[in-house]
Structures are given as structure tokens and as C-alpha cells.
Structure 1
Amino acid sequence: MYRRTLSPSRFLGLPLIAIAGLALSACTQAKSNVTSSADAAKSAAETAESLSPPTGDLSWTKGAMVAAANPLAVEAGLEVMRNGGNAIDAAIAVHAVLGLVEPESSGLGGGAFMVYYDRAKDEITVFDGREMAPAAATADYFVKDGKVMDFIEAWQSGHSVGVPGQVALYKAAHDAAGTGDWAADFAPAIRLAENGFNVGEKLAGALSSERLRAVINLDDNPVTAAYFYPDGKPLPEGYLLKNPDYAATLKRIATEGPSAFYTGEIAEGIVAAAGAEPYGSVMTMEDLANYTVKKRPAVCGTLPTGYKICSAPPPSSGGVAQNEIMGLYDLMKPGPNVRVTEDYYLKIFVDAQRLAYADRDYYVADADYVTVPTADLINPDYLKVRAKEAFAPDAHATPGDPGVALGRNPMIGMWGQDQTEHKPGTTHISIIDTDGNAVSMTATVEAAFGSSRMTHGFLLNNQLTDFSRAPTAGGQPVANAPAAGKRPRSSMSPTLVFDPDGDLFMVTGSPGGNSIIAYVAKTLVGVMEWGLTAQEAVDLPNIIARGDTVGVEVDREGGPEDAETLRQMGYDVDEREGENSGLHVIVVRDNGLEGAADPRREGIAKKLE
């Protein structure tokens, strides 16, 4: 599809966004309670630049829209906005329903990154509700009897469970900018949990998957078996499923706030479920009571035309990876008088990914614990050097050295190589409200059904397997190794784009484990570089170029042709089917909002009428 859709004449005739002068800007934000590592903070401060204020009349005339992974969840968000809530209220309502109807992807027992744009204040705030390691966690948390646990063993163990951040994120965001009634935000989910909902194709398919059942304990644990496998059989599509325990939990959160979740009976249930064998968690009641949401500045790439791409900072990969991919892609484009084939644009998209993924894998971790050279990784001078390091198709992908490229001490010896796999058990929500405020929120329990542990109607995450299970590599510590209170690196990339006047242009994001970076980049390149509609960009076959293998989705139109093209170029191509992207995108056009939902899941994008 990439190869057949794109033509040099189409590229050269569009007013394309140039990113050769990409720079980091610390976007205006609500007050932060986080101190970044010294060098990153200094670099960000040196290039700090606020978003340009919206021009002209501040009234918003484009309407409102919700794009999310299930129609019931979308309707919940629209209902809350009709009753006076804004984008944050809608996000809470949407996600509370998603935790009920697609528990394999996210829920109260997980975490999220929310990027929120307040249009009237012209501020972007990132709410980091990422799960945390317990206070008793150590670097060798996943080392058992002297050996590093394999992923499946770690995934289903209690050690995989991080302190959940989702409920605390709800409250932090609502306190900062919500306009609706807190309790009312949970009403749609409570109603569905009590009255029941019809099990969708996605949930039914996951529960009946023999491949998945072979590696998880969902049908073995008594609580989850009774809920998901009544009479020993997986819930079928269309089954009317009720969850009174979930309704009771939401009612307590609605009336008592997060304290109902992080202390008392519900917290005791979390600690007990996480602490059960095999390999029980060391999480305590104090770990839950001490959880805090971090407000962080967004990482924004500033473009010469005035466009900005803003996403979440470390431990999220979004701000670094999306801006690095876009910057490298631009630098590798041919000049105006250079003729190339259509295939060239596919090649540079792959090469930009390989370079950025290698840097992300090596440098990005929780910046509250290790030095992450965020500003350096998207510095235009570094990108100019890095673009020249594009790997031959059959070469091994390795990280760059921004220290050397920028005339300072080398950085490449800081850490050991980390090849942590991030599994896909995630969802994404994109929202614009009637005032032009926006939310891009990616939420997760990590792998499918999290740790297969359930309490009070919700599943617990296995988020700590997003740490490097091996604490060292090549004799060096790994940046993303576990530590007490540390947040594991995430591939989640909730992203906002702003036009040259500072007005909101695009809201995008996706689930999909470590492939999230490639999925989201596809929509940025598709809409802004290739002139596609939001839906056309989402519909493109997914191409994931992390490491030495390029994954190509071949069960989508154009995928087989792209796979063959890349193979002929010399790339090691892995033909994939059943990609689990769940892209939800809103683009602001002159005539209103244009939405897209990923056909690979069961979501929709719907305007507020």
C-alpha cells in the first residue's frame, strides 16, 4: 500500500512539513512536581518554547469527537460531554467502560499516560499514571535461582504486578482541569456493569484462543475462571455479562475518591492477589498508599513551519521516538530536483524507524532514576549525524552516540544493550471536546489480561515485565532495569500535533506493545507527509522496523507488495498477520473534525451531535 499509494509527483506537489530544524521544546504545562535529570533539564530549558497562542476568536467551532476501542465506551464519553464534562471527564468515562468491556487490554488495575491540551490556557500537561515497582524491588527482581526468568514465567508471576496508577491518574487529571461531576463520570460504566453488556468479538476471541490459553493462567485461577470461563467454557460473543464487583468498586471510587482504591478493602485485595503464588509480589499496602501521579512537561518537536509534535516524556518513548522518526525521515527525503522511485519513501520510513528504535531501546528509561538524553536525541545536529548512519538492510541495528555527535563526551558506554519486549495488552483514546481541549491517552495492563490475577472485578497488570528482566548486559547495568519505586519504560506514544498558528491539528495514539511506536509514526507520516485522510493512514498495512527484522502486515491490502519490495532491497522481512494495532485518530480540518478507528479492533470515531 505504501509503494502503490505514493508517487514522487504527489510528494513534491504538497506543502510538506519539513523537520530539518527539529528542536525540543518544553511545552507550557500545569505546574510540575518532577525534577528531570540535570543535563536533560538544562537542555530543555535552553530550548524552551511555548506553543503559539491560538489566533483570532478563541471560540471553538469544530465540534467534539471521541475515538476509542469500543462503541459502548465512545457513547459513554459523548454522554458525559453532553452533560457538561470536558475531554478529561470523557476520557475517564470512556476508560471506565473499556476496563469492563475489554479487560484484556486495560483497566483499573493498570496504568496510563494522558497528554492533555487546555486550549483556553494554551497548556499541555502530561499525566504520568505509569505503574511503579514496589519499594522492596531490586535490580535482580526477575532473577530466580541465579537465572533470568523467561517472559512467560515472569508474565504470570506476582512479580510482574506493578502498583496501579490508573485511578490516581483519573483524579489528578480531573482535579487539574475536569469540568464535569466526578461521580457522574463513572455512571455509564456502573450502569453497564450492573445491567450487563454483550461480550464483543475481540474479548470472545481472546478468551477462546488456544494459543493464549496455553500460556496464561486465566482459566486456572479460580476467580478469573469463574468470570471468564463459566462452566469451563470461554464467554461467547453476544453473551450478556454482568460484573457487580466492578460496579461496586466504581461506586466506591465515585463517592470516596482514589482513597477507596489505594487503602482499605480494595487495596488489601490487590496486595493479596499480587502476592499469591507463583512467585508472589513484594507489594505492600504502603506501596499502594504512596502511589503518586507525576505531572510532566510534554516533549515537543518544533518544526521550521511551526508545526509541533508533542508526546509523553520518559519513561514513555513517545516524545523521543516520534520526533526522532519524523526528523530522520525528513532528513533522508530526496532534494527537490532528485528523482526517486515510489519505493524510496517506503525505504526511508523503515530506515528512520530502525535508527530511532535502536536509540530508544538503549537510552530511554525512567528519567527520575537514570540520565535520559531526551533533548540530545532529537537535537537537529544529532539527527543530521544519525541520518548518515542509516543501516544497510542486512546490517545489525545499533544505537547512536549523541554525546560524540554534539561534541561532548561519549554516551554509548553508559548502559548495556536492552532488548526488552513490550507485549500488547493496551488501548488508546483520542478526544476533542466542545471547547477544543484534547486528550490523547494510552492505557494498559501490559500483556493480554495482564497477570491473570483479579480482585474486586478488575484484572491486575503485569507491567513490571516492561523492565529489562536482565539487570546487566555485557557487564554494564541496563538503564531500564528494575528499582524500588521506578516506572518501567513504555512504548506508549499518546501524541498531539499543532499547526503553525498553534492550533490543534491532530490527536493520535495506539496500543500494540513495542510496535506502538511504528503504528503511531505511520499515522503522522501518512497524514502530514503523504496527504492521506485519517482513516486512509490508519488502514495502511503496519510496518514495524525494530532491530534487524522488518515486520510487514501482509493480511492488509498492499502488505504483500510492500513485503516483497523490502525483501528485494535486502531487508530481513517477517511477514505478519493479525497485527494488534488499535489506532484512534482525530484530525482537525477546515470544515470540522475527521476521525478514524482501526479496523483491526472494534472501535469507532464519533462526533458529538
Structure 2
Amino acid sequence: MSLAKILKLGAMAVAIAPLSLSGAFADGAAFFDPLDRIHPVWAENGMVSAQERLAAEIGRDILAKGGNAVDAGVAVAFALAVTLPRAGNIGGGGFMLVHDAKTGQTHAIDYREMAPSGASRDMFLDEKGEPDSDKSLYSGAASGVPGTVAGMRLALEKYGSLPWAEVIAPAIRLAEEGFPVTPELSDSIESEREYLEKHPATKAIFFKPDGQVWQPGETLVQADLAKTLKKIAEEGPDGFYKGEVAEAVARSVQAVGGLITPEDMAAYKVVEREPVRGTYRGFEVVSMPPPSSGGVHLIQILNALEGYPIGALGQNSAQTIHLMAEAMKLAYADRSEYLGDPDFVDVPVAALTSKDYAAAMRAKISAEFATPAAQIKPADLTPYESDQTTHFSIIDKDGNAVSNTYTINFNYGSGLVADGTGVLMNNEMDDFSAKPGTPNGFGLIGGDANAIEGGKRPLSSMTPTLVLKDGKIWLVTGSPGGARIITTVLQVIMNMVDHGMNVAEASTAPRVHHQWLPDELRVEEGISLDTLRLLEAKGHAIVLKDAMGSTQSIMRDPESGSLYGASDPRRPDAATLGY
């Protein structure tokens, strides 16, 4: 909805959490009364913040019985594959950051999906040479080789402390015995009925024999998924990547036009990479490197904004939002040109994340007027070196931390459950550039660096992030949200660092987003109409759309070690739990 439409309807912008705002500047910039706060969850020892309560409870229980953050993270990841089927997965992939408090080191685990060996650059083009979104999103060819199982195994073996079978056992129980369907789960299945019903194996799980969707309070049992999880628990990754499960995945995908073979499954590899690092007003920001674009552009935008007095300008004031939007546009333009799988292309990470480059970005930003997207091009850089997603954050009693974002891309991935396995397959192949210069399912423009190639990992916006103060964990955060993940994480950090919000307030405050193309400033409800008028006067095309993101965040007090966490109120069923 445009600003003109908002004004025509006489709409009153309602804050998502009005109790967090006790006053405002003329254009809606917030300031805070310390007696009028939204309070986060508190814990003394360990904490889990996840998008589904049962999975969060499992992670908390692992911590309480002596497991570390990675043990809990692996348990949560497998549990979400059962209880949050639209995003939690073993048929997808993602990224995990692991911080070791004892050594001070942070490790980045890339278990992103890989294109099948038979994938080719033009595989999603129609007879006219234009991208065919049905092929890239809903056919068997939409699925890349899943990485979650291999990623969780590597994380546990290298950084965990409990046995593999022990951390998978709670997920097996939930799949085998079932769990109560929530209103959100029931609604999400109904909303995707059209394509979940297309595949018999999918329909048999998510709908009753009479075709009705499972209702809130009823028990959803996933017997085939339980059987698959048992094989994984007993045989390790070989129980998924080899033998009958791998063959069933390949057979089911190929039956609807896909390319995955048993050999592709067996060839899957996890990669450990060096995290990207930056600083922002005395804090160290550590995030995921390519093939995630998230960490690079998070640091790039923070670097650019560090040159402005954001705190003095006010949270969500017109000037603050204007500067954020202009920096976002420049970063997303660079994303379209330079970002891809670093095993296949040179990504200029050092250049994009340098303070000098941030100064050059600021030189392009007018304080008074929005620069039209048509006038913005990717920078001329030389390489310096060779919606539906879910996130969870964990800190244990020793200060170890996990920030994990993983996905099967759209709600319920491609909608295909591999026969006899209970595994929902991803549609991550859409994250490649089917045709350089054209948008994908999230409206993101990609270039040759992200062209399709066998064995390659598609570019992602997932942004699992750690913020450290004096070398110790201060904040663990991340979010789902497709193209909007980067800017969502950005605003949580800025809300806390620049505006002094606690983690709950930072998670609740209204958000904005600009991704260069389309040339529109997306805003949530809760931004003052006066602010929106000022932004429109600067030349921004304002569009009011649905809420953005679902952050799961934990802050650790550097003095007391106490933990404060919050689950984003934008999506139901999430929980932050501690002990």
C-alpha cells in the first residue's frame, strides 16, 4: 500500500508494540522512558531462542543437563524439521556460526545446498529465453542437494559434546508420537494447500484422509520422517546421503523433472569458512561469508552508517530511515554484481567490507534527496581475494554461542516429500540467477557470479550474526525473511547500539527495507505518518507491506554474564527459554 493510499484511507499507523514508545520527536523519532520498557526473557545459565516452542524446549533441556550450545543447536535443528515443516528441515541447508568462549574463536559452517551435477546455466529458461518460475520453484528441478544433515554432523563432531543419537532422539519422539498442531501450523498448511496437495506423499502427511487440514490441538504424526531420523541416528549422514533414503530422494525428484542422483547425494560436502568481520561503534560484528551475501552487506551497510550520528538523529526518524535506505540501495546493487559461491567466483569481500569503501558510499549519498535506483550501479571493484527460513540463537553457561539460519526457501520448499522418507525437499535452485539481470522469487537481481552450475551453492541472504564486546559475546541474532534478512538483522543491531534499546525492544520496533530494485522503500505499520511524509518529500516511494522477519536474539550482559533474550512477536509459536 502506497503512502498516498494510506493518507486517502485516513489510516492511523499503529505501532507493533506501542508500550515501547513513550514519546516522539516531530516526525516520529522515538525516545525512551526507562520506566516504560518491554522486558526481555532473563536467565542466568543458558538460553535458546527459536521460532517454535517445542524445539526451544528441547534445546533448553539439552543445556540444562550439561550439553553445550552446539549440542543444543543440533537438537533444535532436527526438532524444527518435525515441528516447523514449512522452514525447519533436513531437506534443505543453511549456515551456522559457532563461537568458542574458551579460545575466543568463531567458526562458520557452510552447509548450503549444492546444485546437482547435471545442472546447467539455462535450465530454468523457457522457449523464449525468459526465466520460468514454475520450473525454478515448484518442479523437481527446483531442489538442490540438501546439506542440513551433513552440517549438523560436522558441527557436533567438532564442537559438540553429546552423542549423535542422543541429540536426535527428541526429534524422533516428536515425529513418531506426534505433537499438537498449533493454529499457526494449521493455517500455514491451509494457505499452501494448492501445491501441497499436488504430491501424494505430501498430501498424506499434511491432510487427513478426507482432505481436511489438521486442526489446532489435533496430533500430527510423521511416521516416515521418524523412520528416516532413526536411520540418520543409527548410521550418521550415510543414513541420509547413501542407501535407501538417498535413492528415494533421487527417484522422487527425478519423477517430477529433477536432476538429483544418488551420486549427487553421496558427493555432498560441508565447508568450513572464515567468518566476515567488521566493527561498529566499538563492537565487533561477526557474520556469515559467501555464499551468504548477508554478512558482507550487513558489515558494508554498518560501515557506511557509522559515519553519521544515528543515535542523535533518533530511532526511525525520517533522516535515520533515509540514510539507512540509501546505504541499503548501494549494498544491494553491489550484491547483484559481485556475490556468489566463492568456490567458483572471486568475491571482493575485503573491498566491500572496508572502511575506505564505506567512505566512498557516503560520498554518493545525499542527505536531502533519495537517489533513484536507475542512477545506481554496482561499484567498480577488483576482487581482493580468490521467506521461508528459520533462525535460532543459543548461548550456554560457559558463554559458547550458536547462531544458525537454515531454510528450504519458500514455505514448505518445493512442496515435494520424497516418497517413504517424510523429507520435504527444498526449492533453493531459485536462489541462483536463472538469467543474470532478472529477479528471483524474492525480487533480488543476480549476475553472472550467481549463475547456475553443477556443484555450485546458490547465493543466500541468510545472516546468522554474533556481536562481541571486548572479545566476548554480547549479542546472538538472526532472522528469516528472504531478501529482507540482511536489513532486519541490521536494524536489531542499530536499535541496541545506536538507540539503547534492550533486546526485546530492538526485536519489536517497526522495520524498513530497501533492496535497490524494485525502487521502493518498504515499511511496516508503526512508522509515523509525519515521518512517511518527510520521506516521500525526499523522493522515496513508500510502500506499506506485511511485517518483516522473525528475529530470535539473545544478549549477554558483559559484566554479570546474565542472559536477556527475545523472540520476535511478528510470528506466533516462537519462544525464548532459559534456565
Q: Shared fold (TM-score greater than 0.5)?
A: yes
Correspondent of 2:180 among 198, 203, 206: 198
Shift in CA distance, 562/268, structure 1 to aligned 2, threshold 3 Å:
farther
Shift of the alpha carbon at 1:542? 2.2
Counterpart of 2:427 in structure 1 is 462
Counterpart of 2:202 in structure 1 is 224
Counterpart of 1:494 in structure 2 is 464
Counterpart of 1:435 in structure 2 is 398
Q: Give a deviation string over 1:99-139, Cα, whole Å, max 9, x none.
A: 11111113000001001101112111111000000111111
How far apart, CA to CA, are the structure 2 residues paired with 1:118 and 1:513?
28
Shift of the alpha carbon at 1:160? 0.8
Percent of counterpart pairs with the same letter?
37
Q: Give a deviation string over 1:432-474, Cα, whole Å, max 9, x none.
A: 011110000001000111011102112000001000111577x
Shift in CA distance, 156/388, structure 1 to aligned 2, threshold 3 Å:
same
Shift of the alpha carbon at 1:539? 0.8
How far apart, CA to CA, are the structure 2 residues paired with 1:312 and 1:339?
29
Correspondent of 2:477 among 496, 500, 508: 508
Counterpart of 1:283 in structure 2 is 260
Counterpart of 1:113 in structure 2 is 95
Counterpart of 2:349 in structure 1 is 374
Structure 2 unmatched runs, 5+? 1-14, 33-42, 439-445
How far apart, CA to CA, are the structure 2 residues paired with 1:125 and 1:314?
14
How far apart, CA to CA, are the structure 2 residues paired with 1:11 and 1:154?
43
Correspondent of 2:524 among 545, 548, 553: 553
2:320 is the alignment partner of 1:345: yes
SS in structure 1 at match of 2:364? coil
Correspondent of 2:270 among 266, 271, 293: 293
2:501 is the alignment partner of 1:532: yes
Query: 2:422 is aligned with what amino acid?
Result: G
Counterpart of 2:412 in structure 1 is 449
How far apart, CA to CA, are the structure 2 residues paired with 1:390 and 1:147?
37
Conservation of the 8 A alpha-carbon contact between 1:505 and 1:587: yes
Shift of the alpha carbon at 1:401? 2.0
How far apart, CA to CA, are the structure 2 residues paired with 1:376 and 1:318?
15
How far apart, CA to CA, are the structure 2 residues paired with 1:512 and 1:505?
23
Counterpart of 1:581 in structure 2 is 549
Query: 1:457 is aligned with what amino acid?
Result: G
Query: 2:271 is aligned with what amino acid?
Result: K
Counterpart of 2:70 in structure 1 is 88
2:288 is the alignment partner of 1:319: no
Q: Give a deviation string over 1:256-294, Cα, whole Å, max 9, x none.
A: 1000000000001110121122xx112111111010100
Conservation of the 8 A alpha-carbon contact between 1:67 and 1:603: no
Query: 1:575 is aligned with what amino acid?
Result: L
How far apart, CA to CA, are the structure 2 residues paired with 1:199 and 1:89?
26
Q: How many residues align?
A: 530
RMSD: 2.7
Conservation of the 8 A alpha-carbon contact between 1:199 and 1:236: yes
Shift of the alpha carbon at 1:588? 1.1
Counterpart of 2:226 in structure 1 is 247
Shift in CA distance, 85/561, structure 1 to aligned 2, threshold 3 Å:
farther
Shift of the alpha carbon at 1:562? 4.8
Shift of the alpha carbon at 1:162? 0.2
Counterpart of 2:565 in structure 1 is 595
How far apart, CA to CA, are the structure 2 residues paired with 1:222 and 1:528?
50
How far apart, CA to CA, are the structure 2 residues paired with 1:143 and 1:427?
29
2:249 is the alignment partner of 1:270: yes
How far apart, CA to CA, are the structure 1 residues paired with 2:310 and 2:216?
50
Q: Give a deviation string over 1:307-354, Cα, whole Å, max 9, x none.
A: 210101001012211101111111233798x99994212221222222
How far apart, CA to CA, are the structure 2 residues paired with 1:458 and 1:303?
41
How far apart, CA to CA, are the structure 1 residues paired with 2:371 and 2:343?
36
Query: 1:295 is aligned with what amino acid?
Result: E
Query: 2:270 is aligned with what amino acid?
Result: V
2:138 is the alignment partner of 1:160: no
How far apart, CA to CA, are the structure 1 residues paired with 2:389 and 2:351?
29
Q: Give a deviation string over 1:77-115, Cα, whole Å, max 9, x none.
A: 012222332111111111111111111113000001001
Counterpart of 2:39 in structure 1 is none
Query: 2:570 is aligned with what amino acid?
Result: R
Correspondent of 1:387 among 362, 378, 384: 362
Query: 1:87 is aligned with what amino acid?
Result: A
Conservation of the 8 A alpha-carbon contact between 2:124 and 2:133: no
The within-5 A match list for 1:63-142 is: 63-142=45-124
Shift of the alpha carbon at 1:62? 5.0
Correspondent of 1:544 among 500, 513, 518: 513
How far apart, CA to CA, are the structure 1 residues paired with 2:332 and 2:148?
27
SS in structure 2 at match of 1:179? coil
Conservation of the 8 A alpha-carbon contact between 2:49 and 2:392: yes
How far apart, CA to CA, are the structure 2 residues paired with 1:295 and 1:451?
27
Query: 1:523 is aligned with what amino acid?
Result: V
Greater mean deviation of Cα atoms: 294-303 or 439-448: 294-303
Structure 1 unmatched runs, 5+? 14-60, 404-408, 412-423
Q: Give a deviation string over 1:346-375, Cα, whole Å, max 9, x none.
A: 221222222222222221111111111011
SS in structure 1 at match of 2:196? coil
Correspondent of 2:237 among 246, 254, 258: 258
Shift of the alpha carbon at 1:605? 4.4
Shift of the alpha carbon at 1:559? 6.2
Query: 1:553 is aligned with what amino acid?
Result: E
Q: Give a deviation string over 1:525-544, Cα, whole Å, max 9, x none.
A: 11111111111111112211
SS in structure 2 at match of 1:109? coil
Q: Give a deviation string over 1:27-85, Cα, whole Å, max 9, x none.
A: xxxxxxxxxxxxxxxxxxxxxxxxxxxxxxxxxx9521000001100011012222332
How far apart, CA to CA, are the structure 2 residues paired with 1:63 and 1:444?
29
Shift in CA distance, 327/608, structure 1 to aligned 2, threshold 3 Å:
same
SS in structure 2 at match of 1:251? helix
SS in structure 2 at match of 1:275? helix
Shift in CA distance, 272/6, structure 1 to aligned 2, threshold 3 Å:
farther
How far apart, CA to CA, are the structure 2 residues paired with 1:372 and 1:339?
35
SS in structure 2 at match of 1:446? coil
How far apart, CA to CA, are the structure 2 residues paired with 1:265 and 1:5?
61
Conservation of the 8 A alpha-carbon contact between 1:393 and 1:572: no
Conservation of the 8 A alpha-carbon contact between 1:505 and 1:588: yes
How far apart, CA to CA, are the structure 2 residues paired with 1:156 and 1:477?
22
2:305 is the alignment partner of 1:329: yes
Query: 2:409 is aligned with what amino acid?
Result: E
Query: What is the TM-score normalised by the length of structure 2?
Result: 0.86
How far apart, CA to CA, are the structure 2 residues paired with 1:532 and 1:326?
17
Query: 2:551 is aligned with what amino acid?
Result: L
SS in structure 2 at match of 1:131? coil
Counterpart of 1:237 in structure 2 is 216
How far apart, CA to CA, are the structure 2 residues paired with 1:261 and 1:368?
25
Query: 2:58 is aligned with what amino acid?
Result: A
Query: What is the TM-score normalised by the length of structure 1?
Result: 0.82
Correspondent of 1:517 among 486, 498, 502: 486
